[in-house]
Amino acid sequence: MTLMTDIEHNGIAVRDKDWWRGGVIYQIYPRSFQDTNGDGVGDLKGIVERLPHVASLGVDAVWISPFFTSPMKDFGYDVSDYRDVDPMFGTLADFDELIRTAHGLGLRVMIDLVLSHTSDEHPWFKESRSSRDNPRADWYVWADPRPDGTPPNNWLSIFGGSAWAWDSRRCQYYLHNFLASQPDLNFHTPAVQEALLDVARFWLERGVDGFRLDTINFYIHDRQLRDNPPLPETLRNDSIAPSVNPYNFQDHKYDKNQPENLAFLNRLRRLMEEYPAVAAVGEVGDAQYGLEILGQYTAGEDYMHMCYAFEFLAKEKLTARRVAEVFDRVERVAPDGWACWAFSNHDVMRHASRWNLPPAAVPLFATLLMTLRGSVCLYQGEELGLPEAEVPFEALQDPYGIQFWPEFKGRDGARTPMAWTPDVPGGGFSEVTSWLPVAAAHLPLAVSLQDGDPGSVLNHYRRMIALRHAHPALLKGDMTDIHVAGDLLSFRRSAAGETLYCAFNLGDAPLEADVPPGEWQALHGPAPEGDTITLKPWQALVARLDEGRN
């Protein structure tokens, strides 16, 4: 389907300002993508150097994890200057070159905005903690202790322990949902919202095409600082925090997910609407109500364009039944919302290892991801089928892993450097020792080895992304008739006069599936045999209904 070009944004011809609806976004973790200055850490120039690889996948956009000035205690998710690039990654001029290069390749650029909290080295926090009556005294969440000196309530940090840290300057506690060096901003203060909207405008004016919004449901806390109630043990899960973390013991009713957040999201959306074809995807970090919040935040055109929850980022293996259950719940709690699905990212174990997939299953799950209703995020190296890297304790960098080792090994195993070529030191990532070791298990899966192999995982991803873009039904269509029979998952996608039938064998034994009535043309997988199809282990069928013959 060809649409007329009606606007141009940042040098990219925009045929559809809703490009994000069904689009494919590639996440780049800058520290581990490509090192060009020989310090063992990836940088913006390295991203520029490797963007042709990303463009070759056929994706719509890149999401770049934080590169702002930071003490790097949480590797950039602790920002000390929202308007500059950390010298580790380069300069603003390097970022401008990245924008120009990406746009020249037809790639949009989305940046990771961390608005819920800053570093304790941010000038705003330094001023706020200096006294109780300075101009920014209420820019962060401060509270007096209880009469016995303990924290004001029972809220817990995702990184372990109380979410409150004592500050001897003000003799008050401040809130930190993550590290103690990541104090939470107080969104109940109007000036804070204005300052953060100005940050977003700064980057929009610089040419970005949108944002990935970190911990979008953490922005606003309960004004009354009420205690969170306990969560029944039967409802606990470890999709957000590891099972050994008592964070899972609470129903996080008051420390996040507040209704006032919608008003701020509306202001942010109105700002983005001033720029054509800009979009945002929000990270909804909640183990119990993620899909409900996704539905609230993406309904209509008043808030966010899309959000992702953690249903497919959890440890729970993605069975046919699980996929059907998730989409049934989406239909019930988020019928007007828009999800952005991901199987892997920088915060969770890579899904090839998390679900213990055999090599033959990896392409199958890529096909599944590209046929689901919603948008898609791919994490760097996912297109290579990379497993989780083994990182020994002595090489760990992630404070989360160090805190909960060995029951939880942290996030470093998903953050090791990309393997570009196996026959040079460092896998082509760096000429010196890298900040995390390059995984030996990744070298046989390097880009250079897979690039020219038609049967590689890399080229399978390219074909599936191309298939998605070639069919309106996969981009924006409905998803109906979801059926499960053991390891068989099937559904229909339909839009603009096009109907597709998608069937997946999510198991290690062959199975036979009924094909709906009609004349079906196989776009991927074996051709239907009359009214049935035999699927080998880990095999998929995507077929198009010949409307003219029915």
> What DSSP string runs through 249-270?
GB--SSSS--TTHHHHHHHHHH
Rounded to whole angstroms, how far apart are CA atoms 287 and 406?
22
| 514: amino acid identity, one letter | D
In the chain, pLDDT over 70 holds for what percent of residues? Answer: 97
**Is the pLDDT at 365 greater than 60, yes or no?**
yes
> Cα-Cα-Cα-Cα dihedral of 49, 55, 60, 62, to 10°?
-20
Query: pTM for this structure?
Result: 0.96
Express each pLDDT in 122-180 by its tens digit.
999 999 999 999 999 999 999 999 999 999 999 999 999 999 999 999 999 999 999 99
Tell me if residue 274 is catalytic.
yes
Tell me if residue 431 is catalytic.
no
Which residue of the set 35, 214, 292, 388 is catalytic? 214
**Is the pLDDT at 4 greater than 90, yes or no?**
no
What pLDDT, on the 0 to 100 scale, is given for residue 12? Answer: 65
What are the residue ranges spanned by the domains of the chain? 7-116+190-222+257-388, 119-184, 471-549
Rounded to whole angstroms, how far apart are CA atoms 36 and 299?
42
Express each pLDDT in 203-252 by its tens digit.
999 999 999 999 999 999 999 999 999 999 999 988 888 889 999 999 99
Nearest to 475 by CA among 1, 21, 17, 18: 21
Instruction: Give the chain's mean pLDDT.
Output: 95
What pLDDT, on the 0 to 100 scale, is given for residue 411? Answer: 95
What pLDDT, on the 0 to 100 scale, is given for residue 509? Answer: 98
Residue 50, C-beta contacts closer than 8 angstroms, at least 6 positions apart: 33, 34, 418, 420
- Is the Cβ–Cβ distance between 521 and 547 less than 8 Å? no
Q: How far is CA 313 from CA 192, 203, 343, 506, 550, in A?
A: 31, 29, 5, 17, 40
Which residue of the set 133, 148, 233, 274 is catalytic? 274
Topology given in CATH for the domain delimited by 471-549 = Immunoglobulin-like (2.60.40)
Residue of higher predicted confidence among 444 and 243: 444
Express each pLDDT in 13-62 by its tens digit.
666 899 999 999 999 999 999 999 999 999 999 999 999 999 999 999 99
SS3 524: strand
What pLDDT, on the 0 to 100 scale, is given for residue 547? Answer: 75
Q: How far is CA 146 from CA 10, 92, 153, 257, in A?
A: 53, 45, 8, 24
| Dihedral over Cα of 300, 304, 305, 306: its sign | negative
Architecture of domain 7-116+190-222+257-388 in CATH?
Alpha-Beta Barrel (3.20)
Express each pLDDT in 298-355 by its tens digit.
999 999 999 999 999 999 999 999 999 999 999 999 999 999 999 999 999 999 999 9
Q: State the DSSP string of 205-243.
A: HTT--EEEETTGGGS---TT-PPPPBPPGGG---SSS-T
Rounded to whole angstroms, how far apart are CA atoms 418 and 428?
8
CB atoms within 10 A of CB 528: 22
| 34: amino acid identity, one letter | Q
Question: CA 292: distance to chain centroid?
Answer: 18
- Is the Cβ–Cβ distance between 286 and 240 less than 8 Å? yes
- What's 119-184's CATH class? alpha beta
**Is the pLDDT at 181 greater than 60, yes or no?**
yes
Q: For the chain, give the number of residues.
A: 550
What pLDDT, on the 0 to 100 scale, is given for residue 5? Answer: 41
Express each pLDDT in 56-110 by its tens digit.
999 999 999 999 999 999 999 999 999 999 999 999 999 999 999 999 999 999 9
In the chain, pLDDT over 90 holds for what percent of residues? Answer: 91
Residue of higher predicted confidence among 85 and 5: 85
What pLDDT, on the 0 to 100 scale, is given for residue 548? Answer: 63
| 391: amino acid identity, one letter | V
CB atoms within 10 A of CB 318: 21
What order of strands is seen across the sheet that includes strand 340-342?
306-308, 279-283, 210-213, 108-113, 61-64, 24-28, 375-379, 340-342
